[in-house]
Amino acid sequence: DIQMTQSPASLSASLGETVSIECLASEDIYSNLAWYQQKPGKSPQLLIYYASSLQDGVPSRFSGSESGTQYSLEINSLQPEDEGDYFCQQSYKFPYTFGAGTKLELK
Amino acid sequence: QVQLKESGPGLVQPSQTLSLTCTVSGFSLTSNSVHWVRQPPGKGLEWVGAIWSGGSTDYNSALKSRLSISRDTSKSQVFLKMNSLQTEDTAIYFCTRDHYYDGTYYYGVMDAWGQGASVTVSS
């Protein structure tokens, strides 16, 4: 199975700051990487797909990038509604696998 | 409007079989695939399996021997059956669908999720 190593596990940042979350794939996944946001008690929501494509309706302060097997989610100008858990997921090979998640809290 | 809704028993006894239903609206099961994803309490996400628009299925190899996914397209319903349940199968089970954009299906990218069905395995 492809392992998705996500870091950091938790993150605390202030309003207006820029943060970055990383996912390292154990093998090449050819940009087949998505990012999801999950708020407490809610279902995950798609933010980014194919490494850097922004899902419709997602604010442009969210962006995705890649470098080799390392994928990043950047959130600019943090807003209160950005608090939550973030997961990466590869869809290149079965079984599809997720990162362990990053909990983002606002100071 | 795309919607998915899971239903099923909240409590299942160990060694018994879990049966969940995902009822979809706003899209056709013959055009789009449906996945099942689960999340144990306080933990991360695990892909369980999928039924593709053509009716074929793929399962997580870790669960394959206990798992069956099927559908009834006339009722817009997808079914998950998992046998020999253990306490570690306690989780919220979500059904989701593949992302479709600008004429392309992005298989395994999940752009709509149900609210989730909470399943507890306990005697």
Yes or no, beta carbons of A46 and B62 under 8 Å apart: no
All residues at 6 or more sequence positions from B10 whose CB lies less than 8 Å from its CB, including other chains: B117, B118, B119, B120
Residue type, B95: C
Give the mean pLDDT of B24-49.
97
Size of interface A-B (CB pairs under 8 A): 60
On chain B, the residues whose CB falls within 8 A of the CB of A94 are 58, 60-61
pLDDT band at A31 (very low <50, low <70, confident <90, very high): very high
What does the pLDDT look like over B81-118, one tens digit per residue? Answer: 999 999 999 999 999 999 999 999 999 999 999 999 99
For residues B53 and B32, the answer to whether their CB atoms sit within 8 Å is yes
Q: In this complex, which of B59, B60, B111 lies closest to A55 when CB atoms are compared?
A: B111
CB atoms within 10 A of CB A83: 15
- CA distance to B40, B120, B123, per residue, from B9 (Å): 16, 9, 14
